[in-house]
Amino acid sequence: MPLAALNWNPALDNWIVVAGVLCAVACALPGTFLMLRRMSMMGDAISHAVLPGLAIAFLFAESRNSVAMFAGAAVVGVLTALLTQWVHRLGKVEESASMGVVFTALFALGLLLIVRAADHVDLDPGCVLYGAIELVPLDTVHLAGTDVPRAVVTLAAIVLLNVLFILAFYKELKISSFDPALATTLGIHAGLMHYLLMIIVAVTTVAAFESVGSILVIAMLIVPAATAHLLTDRLSITLLLAAAIAAAAAVLGHLGAIALPPLLGFEDTSTSGMMAVMVGALFALALLAAPRHGVVSRLLVRLGLTLRITEEDMLGVLYRLEESGRTGESQRIISLMRQARGAGPVLARAALADLRRRGEIGGRRESVALTERGRTRARGLVRSHRLWEAYLERHWNVAPQRVHTSAERLEHVRDESIQRRLAERTDHAEVDPHGSAIPQRHPPDPRQQRQ
């Protein structure tokens, strides 16, 4: 796709994308650990609460001094975590509520301080919330012979810091995230890891603030990690995937910001907002289509199970009819089979079609009958049903007239070893409580029967 068609200006847009990607990756890495620790909202809390830290740093330094800013942010970040813990412990306030109390109070304080500080320094809360990533290429420093935007340098340093932090403390972070008690017994200071992570989150937040605004920071702290969590179970892969998803969302976000609105007849829009939307879209995609934890695949698994149970119920009905010598009344059979599990017409038809495809029932549409293959499967099922009935009656004192309902559910548990143990526990019973014969697993050889 020709970038020129999008009014892509390499001198500007390339740097915007680079800054967005760096910021997204910097946030996604610590965000993964926040998510594992069920502390995602701490990212939200800290990124709102660093406001007073920034304001106080401005008031002290009387300028936009980066060192003072980072220090102020780190202090307030840890303070947020500490205060949340204190209010939670001292006041016995539920943890999320204590977080809510602390970060909104700090945010309010920050707003007041910033308004007071605004006389001296050019800083408005709007800039903190949405940032101004579009302005990143304008503020450059001279580095290695070229002009590099200052924000890109800062963000690259933060990415490096976060990568080094995770590499250095990978094992400690991993264990203390999954099992703090185990971490303590292994001699890892879980509390220290907690506060180190809080410092990293606070510093990352501040670095990203200026260029992309706090809302994108929150989005990138939480959403890529959650998306990766849907796709894999391994921590190392989660980290890499989260970083990749965050970077992809940043690129897509900037493209979307300059390409999407014109399609609808508008001008371009805020890049950081669009980046958050794009990462949300990626999350929605994973939510639906993730291979194991996605909604669609789980729905498919559940549908498959429903289909299997319906099929088994139908086979059971056919087998019992055969046992009592009533074959051939196919309309009745089909309606009986539907009733077997209260299956609706669609499900019943799907189950019939699937049974036919597997070659377990045969005959034309009007005369449904078990094939040899179907009979074997049906026999196993009926055997399971009656063994369960016998077992329930014998060992659980369930009245004979009531065992059927429970057995109807349990019959689908047809694990080989369970079947064997059921037979043993019922002394290889030959009839169920209703007096019907329990079919053998291996039917007597017809040739032997003939003899």
Partner 1 sequence: MRTRHTSAAFAFALLLLAAPADAESGSLRIESTWPSAAQIARVLMLRDHNTRVVIAGTALLGLACGTIGTFLLLRRRALMGDAISHATLPGIAAAFLVMTAAGGSGKYLPGLLLGALVSGGLGVAGVLLIRNLTRIREDAALGIVLSVFFGLGVALLGVIQKMERGSAAGLESFIYGKTASMLQSDALLIGACALVITLVCALLFKELTLLCFDQEFCAAQGRRVLLLDAVMMTLVIAVTVIGLQAVGLILIIAMLIIPPAAARFWTDRLAASVTLAAAFGALSGIVGAGLSALAPRLPAGAIIVLVATGLFVVSLVFGPARGVLSRLRDHLRLARTVARQNLLRTMYEAYERAPAGPHAGVSREELLARRSWSPPRLRAALRRAQRESLLWRNSQGAFELTVEGLIQARRTVRNHRLWELYLIHHADIAPSHVDRDADQLEHVLGARMVAELESLMAAAAPAAAVPPSPHDLPDPRR
Report 30-49 residues binding partner 1 (CB under 8 A): 35, 38-41, 43-44, 48
Report if residue 291 touches partner 1, rule: CB under 8 A. no
Report if residue 127 touches partner 1, rule: CB under 8 A. no
Burial class (CB in 10 A: 0-12, 13-18, 19+), 341: buried
Q: What span, in angstroms and rounded, lies between the C-alpha atoms of 161 and 26?
A: 9
User: Of 90 and 346, which has the nearer Cβ to partner 1?
Assistant: 90
Q: Please state the closest distance from residue 219 (CB atom) to partner 1, in A.
A: 4
Q: What span, in angstroms and rounded, lies between the C-alpha atoms of 81 and 98?
A: 10
Report if residue 275 touches partner 1, rule: CB under 8 A. yes
Q: What span, in angstroms and rounded, lies between the C-alpha atoms of 126 and 270?
A: 13
String of DSSP letters for 273-311: HHHHHHHHHHHHHHHHH-TTTSHHHHHHHHHHHHHHHHH
**Do 380 and 440 meet the contact criterion of CB atoms below 8 Å apart?**
no
Report if residue 250 touches partner 1, rule: CB under 8 A. no
Report if residue 122 touches partner 1, rule: CB under 8 A. no
Q: How crowded is residue 93: how many other Cβ atoms within 10 Å of its Cβ? A: 17
Contacts of 164 (CB under 8 A, 6+ apart): none
Could you write out the three-class secondary structure of 77-95?
HHHHHHHHHHHHHHHCCCH
Q: Please state the closest distance from residue 27 (CB atom) to partner 1, in A.
A: 11
Q: Please state the closest distance from residue 273 (CB atom) to partner 1, in A.
A: 3
Q: Please state the closest distance from residue 285 (CB atom) to partner 1, in A.
A: 13
Q: What span, in angstroms and rounded, lies between the C-alpha atoms of 388 and 193?
A: 53
Report if residue 272 touches partner 1, rule: CB under 8 A. yes
Q: What span, in angstroms and rounded, lies between the C-alpha atoms of 338 and 345?
A: 7
**What is the residue whose two structure tokens read 């014109």?**
262
Q: Please state the closest distance from residue 398 (CB atom) to partner 1, in A.
A: 25
Q: How crowded is residue 50: how many other Cβ atoms within 10 Å of its Cβ? A: 33
Report 299-358 residues binding partner 1 (CB under 8 A): none
**Do 150 and 223 meet the contact criterion of CB atoms below 8 Å apart?**
no
User: Of 266 and 396, which has the nearer Cβ to partner 1?
Assistant: 266
Report if residue 230 touches partner 1, rule: CB under 8 A. yes
Q: By CB under 8 A, which span of 286-294, 369-377, 404-412, 443-451 interacts with partner 1?
A: 286-294
Q: Please state the closest distance from residue 223 (CB atom) to partner 1, in A.
A: 5
Among 15, 130, 165, 319, the residue binding partner 1 under the rule CB under 8 A is 130
Report if residue 218 touches partner 1, rule: CB under 8 A. yes
Q: Please state the closest distance from residue 424 (CB atom) to partner 1, in A.
A: 35
Q: Please state the closest distance from residue 306 (CB atom) to partner 1, in A.
A: 18
Among 82, 126, 192, 237, the residue binding partner 1 under the rule CB under 8 A is 126
By CB under 8 A, the count of residues binding partner 1 is 69
Structure tokens at 70: 């980072």
Q: What span, in angstroms and rounded, lies between the C-alpha atoms of 179 and 96?
A: 20
Q: What span, in angstroms and rounded, lies between the C-alpha atoms of 93 and 83?
A: 12
Among 132, 201, 207, 277, the residue binding partner 1 under the rule CB under 8 A is 277
Structure tokens at 246: 């965050």
- Contact characters 80-119, partner 1, x per CB under 8 A: -------x--xxxxx-xxxxxx--xx-xxx-xxx-xxx--
Report if residue 75 touches partner 1, rule: CB under 8 A. no
Report if residue 229 touches partner 1, rule: CB under 8 A. yes
Please name the helix (run of DSSP H) or strand (run of DSSP E) that holds residue 332, with its range, or none. Answer: helix 330-340
The one-letter code for the residue type at 168 is A
Report if residue 183 touches partner 1, rule: CB under 8 A. no
Q: What span, in angstroms and rounded, lies between the C-alpha atoms of 211 and 216?
A: 10
Report if residue 259 touches partner 1, rule: CB under 8 A. no
Report if residue 280 touches partner 1, rule: CB under 8 A. yes
Q: How crowded is residue 124: how many other Cβ atoms within 10 Å of its Cβ? A: 11
Q: Please state the closest distance from residue 38 (CB atom) to partner 1, in A.
A: 5
Report if residue 251 touches partner 1, rule: CB under 8 A. no
Using alpha carbons, select from 138, 166, 167 the residue that is nearest to residue 152. Answer: 138
Among 4, 167, 267, 365, the residue binding partner 1 under the rule CB under 8 A is 267
Report if residue 216 touches partner 1, rule: CB under 8 A. yes
Which residues of the shown chain bind partner 1 in the complex (CB under 8 A)? 35, 38-41, 43-44, 48, 59, 87, 90-94, 96-101, 104-105, 107-109, 111-113, 115-117, 125-126, 129-130, 213, 215-216, 218-219, 221-223, 225-226, 229-230, 257, 261, 266-270, 272-277, 279-280, 283, 287, 293-295, 298
